[in-house]
Structure 1
Amino acid sequence: MDRANVNARRQAQSLENLRVENHALRTQLDDILELAHRNQSILARHQSFELKIIGASHFKELISYIFSELANTSDLDIVTLALVDPRQDLQQMLNDLRIDLQEFPGLLFVRHEHELQTKALLSYKPLLGKYQSHLYGNLYRSCAKKPASVAVIPLVRQNRLIGYLNLGSFCAERFLTTMATDFIERLGSIIAICLENVLNNERLVYIGLTDPLTNVSNRRYVEQRTLEEIARARRQSYGIACMYLDIDFFKKINDEHGHQGGDDVLCEVAKRIKAELRLSDTLGRFGGEEFVVLLINANLQDAMLVAERIRRSIAGKPFTLSDKGHCSTTISIGLTTVSEKHNLGEATAVAREMISRADRALYDAKRSGRNQVRCE
């Protein structure tokens, strides 16, 4: 009888062990299924994100997806993007295309990758780990609260670095140096391709609005931009200024140095004018040796200072020509302003009258001896 009881107890214990083991296995299976469903959901979100950025045809659209959709898709606290822009051509083009970069505080521009102050970033391999200000401070400088851990992903196209996608989390364990980087490398590759694509699209638009010789805006763009800025000045209640500029005795330069010499002077004049302007200002070639400048949020005193700087920069240094010769020239400038009080009526009429007044002031400068600024 005792042996029967012992066997019964053993069988009962075995059954209990099986039930416990079965429950543990069911729990593990439930966890695996839950993880699979969660991973499937994450994969679906990432696929949706990738389709959106691949379908983006404009820079602003793509950047908006990166900063909003990527953060939500990957459950990130911080996303920044640093683009390499050695000559600030990219910023100038985006500004000329009326893309307000201030809408994206997480969008950064660096003149050279060495500005990022760490040799570790030059390997073109993703870097994961705890946030260290001396390594990653420049990449997250727009963030009031710094991340605890980061993933810095180089964006490379055809062996050329175009920028860095920078992910951040307030959780110190989110990005560890021991983690595999296959997924984020793929993400970086897709975003790099999309960036290259939209920037090429924007450049095609920009080329249609750019003077091919001097590489500043053409007349069509300036006229279009003038109407937009008049409307914006009304909404935000500020004044704008317009300069009409003409190179003095330009025909003589062509006669003495040939058309190539004239082209050299035109290009250098445009470069010197541009150097005195803000990114928000507009410079365009109106034709021949004439240029127009539109100064945003500027009164007469501000505009006079800029105009004088331009005049001195042209007159103060000889121009180096392609044939190794040199020549000197000066520029005459007509200036006018439209204050918020006088920005009234139809925008096209305001624009026409503003440019006409600047042209009359230019004529006055020419008639009074050239190499000077006159206002109307």
Structure 2
Amino acid sequence: MDGAAPYSAKHPPRLSAMDELRLENNMLRSRLDDILEHAHRNQNIMERHQKFELQIIGASHFIELITSIFSSLAETSELDMVSLILLDPRQDLQQMLTDLRINLREFPHMLFVRSERELQTPCISSQKPVLGPYQRHLYEQFFRSFSQKPASVALIPLIRQGRLIGYLNLGSFSADRFLSSMATDFIQRLGSIIAICLENVINNERLTYIGLTDPLTNVSNRRYVEQRTLEEIGRARRQGYGIACMYLDIDFFKKVNDQYGHQGGDDVLCEVARRIKAELRLSDTLGRFGGEEFVVLLINANLQDAMMVAERIRRSIAEKAFPLSEGGSCNTSISIGLTTVSEKQNHGDEVIVAKEMISRADRALYDAKRSGRNMVRCE
């Protein structure tokens, strides 16, 4: 056949050198645009993380730090869930925070455990972050406060001075967000910063708490109880429930001091405080008013509830001897005056309501003393 042969699909026309250069240039430009976009995104992420770090480093109170962790960290790192587990072997951290009027129920994703054994995950490292897919039998305890479970997780141990204080747990609904093959340098650094910040704010709260605590018995002092009484009367009024007040006095305490010395008297005071506290809820308040006198506030309690608690306290002290640090033991008892402020009674000036409530409890205590001691009396 004469003439030029038509182009075949198998043999497309060759591009000129100029066209090839243009095509290669367009591909390079597209690639550079992708790199630039990725760099901008990384820069934005780094700026957000720096802002978050400055925010938590500047936190001076527990609530301020915890709020930042649960709100700002989730937003900064585009996470679907964040939980925090704190080790609290003797539950004294929870008690201190509660005594400082920090409502722990406002933070449902902050969990307290007494030991690592409660997490039921012996294979989880307590030294290095763990990344990978969510496995229920391993990680359920870390995300138990969430109804929907993540697809991938990062568990970050929080360590201070070689001691594990808790875990920061990050979860994502994306299975590719946290892979076991990923480097952990960044989240390890995050864990170190949060551990330092936690220790700092907890120490700050402890300093506040010490100023409101009786140094001998380690329960609240009179100043704190009086302050807390006003607050609880106001809260009970707003939320519509009753409160109860006990005034407690160790019977014949002077004889304990005379017979066993002041060290024996201190031993008894500390053990009495411990036994009273053992019968109370975290939301209740126990304070030493001075000498051998204590005051208890029972929150959301009526007279019947309060009588049951008071009787348990009385029996716990009267029915078991008190060990003494210098050897031997002694027996003692306690008298308790009890009164309540119902929802209907809680009106007028809060200072007057508080004073009258404590005065009624004091009069009831005097009645218990006059009637033979080692008993509970109500007014």
Q: Considering the TM-score relative to the shorter chain, is it more than 0.5?
A: yes
Which residue, 151, 154, 157 being the options, matches 1:151? Answer: 154
Which residue, 183, 186, 190 being the options, matches 1:183? Answer: 186
Distance across 2 between alignment mates of 1:278 and 1:203: 20
- The alignment's TM-score, normalised by the length of structure 2, stands at 0.96
Q: 1:38-117, aligned counterparts within 5 Å?
A: 38-117=41-120
Q: 1:190-339, aligned counterparts within 5 Å?
A: 190-339=193-342
Deviates more, 1:230-239 or 1:19-28: 19-28
Contact 2:126 2:164 in 1 (8 A): no
- Structure 1 residue 23: Cα displacement: 1.2
2:9 match: none
1:347 aligns with 2:350: yes
CA-atom RMSD in angstroms: 1.3
- Structure 1 residue 118: Cα displacement: 1.2
Contact 2:85 2:167 in 1 (8 A): yes
2:163 match: 160
Deviates more, 1:136-145 or 1:255-264: 136-145
- Structure 1 residue 50: Cα displacement: 0.4
Distance across 2 between alignment mates of 1:143 and 1:228: 32
1:364 aligns with 2:378: no
Distance across 1 between alignment mates of 2:174 and 2:277: 46
Say which SS state the counterpart of residue 337 (structure 1) adopts.
Answer: strand
Q: 1:113-128, aligned counterparts within 5 Å?
A: 113-128=116-131
Distance across 1 between alignment mates of 2:312 and 2:126: 43
For structure 1, the 5+ residue unaligned runs are 3-8
Letter in 2 for 1:305: M
2:8 match: none
Distance across 2 between alignment mates of 1:178 and 1:11: 45
- Structure 1 residue 21: Cα displacement: 1.5
Which residue, 25, 37, 40 being the options, matches 2:40? Answer: 37
- Structure 1 residue 221: Cα displacement: 0.1
Letter in 2 for 1:370: R
- The alignment's TM-score, normalised by the length of structure 1, stands at 0.97
- Structure 1 residue 11: Cα displacement: 7.5
For structure 2, the 5+ residue unaligned runs are 6-11
Q: Over residues 300-352 of structure 1, what are the superposed CA-to-partner deviations in whole Å (9 max), with x where a residue is unaligned?
A: 00000000000010011100000121001100000000001000110000000
Q: 1:6-17, aligned counterparts within 5 Å?
A: 12-17=15-20
Distance across 2 between alignment mates of 1:12 and 1:102: 70
Distance across 2 between alignment mates of 1:333 and 1:122: 50
Say which SS state the counterpart of residue 16 (structure 2) adopts.
Answer: helix
Distance across 1 between alignment mates of 2:134 and 2:279: 39
Q: Over residues 225-245 of structure 1, what are the superposed CA-to-partner deviations in whole Å (9 max), with x where a residue is unaligned?
A: 000000000000000000000
Q: Over residues 71-102 of structure 1, what are the superposed CA-to-partner deviations in whole Å (9 max), with x where a residue is unaligned?
A: 00000000000000000000000000000001
Distance across 2 between alignment mates of 1:16 and 1:299: 90
- Structure 1 residue 115: Cα displacement: 1.1
1:5 match: none
Distance across 1 between alignment mates of 2:27 and 2:232: 69
Letter in 1 for 2:170: L
Greater helix fraction, Structure 1 or Structure 2: 1
1:133 aligns with 2:125: no
- Structure 1 residue 214: Cα displacement: 0.2
Deviates more, 1:266-275 or 1:117-126: 117-126
